[in-house]
Chains A and B, each alone.
Chain A
């Protein structure tokens, strides 16, 4: 279920503006990798290159390699639609389909893939909602619209929607930044459970969150405003937060900038 991602020399552009430059790293399967760094350092852009969402933005362009277990996602003939079916994504603001019921939201991805049986669908929906720790809260109102849930519940609904299609990798772009502390805790607990099954990459502004949930942490920085963001270092989370090898990382973590 979970695959390794090898990124080599990845550079991403918005039109002629270079947003991130020459990033190489390995994301281990069945673990949580956190991206931290100051605003504008390109960590969200980098995350969006991993499921080819970056190129959806007008002018978005990518150079370099992203290997998912040796298969280049940017290779010739690779359909971005297929890539996005293999690599799920959860966004900053909860974005359930507003016109759909809770049930239909979770089933949406499966219906796109088209490979399901009707009685299977109900099972997968239940399993995904249970997997997102949401089942007990919504099991009596599966036919109500998803937009009627609280923010935290909506975000877990989006996670359920993403894991329903059994992706290889789950990308999370600041999934808790729009949520209150209790909902944040619920999502963090959930991330801990999900890493048993998926490769998880999470972008966060909250360093405590990175320290709590991740196994490995990557620190991104940019030398000046307008300059492309770069990967400064990636290591075991414990080391990054106790004894980083680069001074800039230590400065950022101890709150001296950013």
Chain B
């Protein structure tokens, strides 16, 4: 017979249990220090940017004689100084919405083509070309937009005005070249296409094979496989990709500044020349602004910062809401 095993008996002297100590290997410590340091540095950077922006913005807004949010004017050098972001907010949001509406469906289409339709020999070069679009500097897009897109969009604008003018949005009430929010939107769409495409493509390639086979075995056609397996799995990835693109569209500066002919008007007629965006306005006015003018521009930058934050938060909410249904736990 076995003797009584001492496993369950408590030790005679109730010594306090030793806390699990790290073995203290140097590599671990250095890595911990590095990663913690980077994390803290990032938070400090964010905090200092936020403090700087808020402080300068507060200075400016306190001297604003108009309403900072509703004024249709930007004249911080005037007497009294009057400026407001209404037009900038409107122009930024509208041009970005146009860009998203155009770019996201096309990007998803290209991503699906590369990941699921194109023969392999074609898929790799195609993916490369799309990524190459992202390497073009934005000023080049701006010049191309101003010299090529603006004159050649004349015809499209007339066509839209003629056939979709009844929607009000596409009614062109002012004559003038197409230096409009609509043109900016198209240009931004081209600029955000690569990032949305490549992130979507990566997500579509990660769809588990067994999910696709589930649809195939039921007798699904290629499109039905995409609809049943690929798109639901890639949904949150496409949303993230779109938000990355939206972030770029909201903050794009040079291309917009080159194409748009700025004006301080809000018009839902997106084909009319004029309008403005936050980044474009800052780029155009910063050099010649006085102290108050610069603070005012910084205040508008702060609003853009908050806007981007809100957009990202909304995207996270959309993704989290469907977590139960996501493919992650399959």
Task: Decide: A91 and B211 in contact? CB cutoff 8 A.
Answer: no
Tell me if A190 is interfacial: C-beta within 8 Å of chain B: no
Task: Decide: B232 and A98 in contact? CB cutoff 8 A.
Answer: yes
Q: What residues of chain B lie closer than 8 Å to A109, measured between beta carbons?
A: 218-219
Task: Decide: B211 and A95 in contact? CB cutoff 8 A.
Answer: yes
CA distance A13 to B235 in the complex (A): 35
**Chain A residue at minimal CB-CB distance from B224:** A112
Q: What residues of chain A lie closer than 8 Å to B211, measured between beta carbons?
A: 95, 97-98
13 A-B residue pairs with CB within 8 Å: A58-B120, A82-B219, A83-B219, A84-B217, A85-B219, A96-B214, A97-B214, A99-B325, A108-B228, A112-B224, A113-B219, A147-B327, A147-B330
Q: What residues of chain B lie closer than 8 Å to A108, measured between beta carbons?
A: 215, 218, 228
Task: Decide: A88 and B217 in contact? CB cutoff 8 A.
Answer: yes
Task: Decide: B218 and A165 in contact? CB cutoff 8 A.
Answer: yes
Task: Decide: A84 and B326 in contact? CB cutoff 8 A.
Answer: no
Task: Decide: A98 and B218 in contact? CB cutoff 8 A.
Answer: no
Q: A81-B219, A112-B218 are in contact. Are A93 and B210 (CB under 8 A)?
A: yes
Tell me if B280 is interfacial: C-beta within 8 Å of chain A: no
Q: What residues of chain A lie closer than 8 Å to B208, measured between beta carbons?
A: 95
Q: What residues of chain B lie closer than 8 Å to A83, measured between beta carbons?
A: 219
Q: What residues of chain A lie closer than 8 Å to B325, measured between beta carbons?
A: 98-100, 145, 147
**Chain B residue at minimal CB-CB distance from A86:** B219
Q: A95-B211, A112-B224 are in contact. Are A147 and B329 (CB under 8 A)?
A: yes
Tell me if A182 is interfacial: C-beta within 8 Å of chain B: no
Q: What residues of chain B lie closer than 8 Å to A148, measured between beta carbons?
A: 324
**Chain B residue at minimal CB-CB distance from A110:** B218
**Chain A residue at minimal CB-CB distance from B325:** A99
Number of A-B residue pairs having CB atoms within 8 Å of each other in the complex = 85
Q: What residues of chain B lie closer than 8 Å to A95, measured between beta carbons?
A: 208, 210-211, 213-214, 330
Q: What residues of chain B lie closer than 8 Å to A81, measured between beta carbons?
A: 219-221
Q: Render B204-236 as a binary contact track against A, CB cut-off 8 A, 1 for contact.
A: 000010110111111111001000110011010
Task: Decide: B327 and A98 in contact? CB cutoff 8 A.
Answer: yes
**Chain A residue at minimal CB-CB distance from B211:** A95
**Chain A residue at minimal CB-CB distance from B222:** A81
Task: Decide: B213 and A98 in contact? CB cutoff 8 A.
Answer: no
Tell me if A56 is interfacial: C-beta within 8 Å of chain B: yes
Task: Decide: A99 and B232 in contact? CB cutoff 8 A.
Answer: yes
Q: A98-B325, A99-B326 are in contact. Are A112 and B210 (CB under 8 A)?
A: no
CA distance A100 to B324 in the complex (A): 10
Tell me if A51 is interfacial: C-beta within 8 Å of chain B: yes
Task: Decide: A112 and B213 in contact? CB cutoff 8 A.
Answer: no
Q: Render A71-85 as a binary contact track against B, CB cut-off 8 A, 1 for contact.
A: 000000000011111
A residues with a Cβ closer than 8 A to B are: 51, 53, 56, 58, 81-86, 88-89, 91, 93, 95-100, 108-109, 112-113, 145, 147-148, 158, 161-162, 165
**Chain A residue at minimal CB-CB distance from B322:** A99
Main SS class of interface, B = helix
Q: Could you say which of A58, A82, A85 contacts B218, with CB atoms under 8 Å apart?
A: A85
Q: What residues of chain A lie closer than 8 Å to B327, measured between beta carbons?
A: 98-99, 147
Task: Decide: B217 and A98 in contact? CB cutoff 8 A.
Answer: no
CA distance A91 to B325 in the complex (A): 21
CA distance A15 to B324 in the complex (A): 40
Q: What residues of chain A lie closer than 8 Å to B322, measured between beta carbons?
A: 99
User: A101 → chain B, closest Cβ, in Å?
Assistant: 8
Task: Decide: B329 and A112 in contact? CB cutoff 8 A.
Answer: no
Q: What residues of chain A lie closer than 8 Å to B217, measured between beta carbons?
A: 51, 53, 84, 88-89, 91, 162
User: A108 → chain B, closest Cβ, in Å?
Assistant: 6
Q: What residues of chain A lie closer than 8 Å to B213, measured between beta carbons?
A: 53, 56, 89, 91, 95
CA distance A158 to B210 in the complex (A): 12
CA distance A113 to B208 in the complex (A): 24
Q: What residues of chain A lie closer than 8 Å to B215, measured between beta carbons?
A: 97, 108
**Chain A residue at minimal CB-CB distance from B221:** A81
Among A56, A96, A100, max chain B CB count under 10 A is at A56
CA distance A98 to B208 in the complex (A): 11
Q: A56-B213, A145-B324 are in contact. Are A97 and B229 (CB under 8 A)?
A: yes
Q: What residues of chain A lie closer than 8 Å to B330, measured between beta carbons?
A: 95-96, 98, 147
Among A84, A162, A165, max chain B CB count under 10 A is at A84
Q: Could you say which of A56, A58, A84, A158 contacts B219, with CB atoms under 8 Å apart?
A: A84
CA distance A161 to B120 in the complex (A): 32
| Interfacial residues of chain B within 173-226, with CB under 8 A of chain A in the complex | 208, 210-211, 213-221, 224
**Chain A residue at minimal CB-CB distance from B232:** A99
Q: What residues of chain A lie closer than 8 Å to B219, measured between beta carbons?
A: 81-86, 109, 112-113, 165
Among B215, B218, B228, B229, max chain A CB count under 10 A is at B218
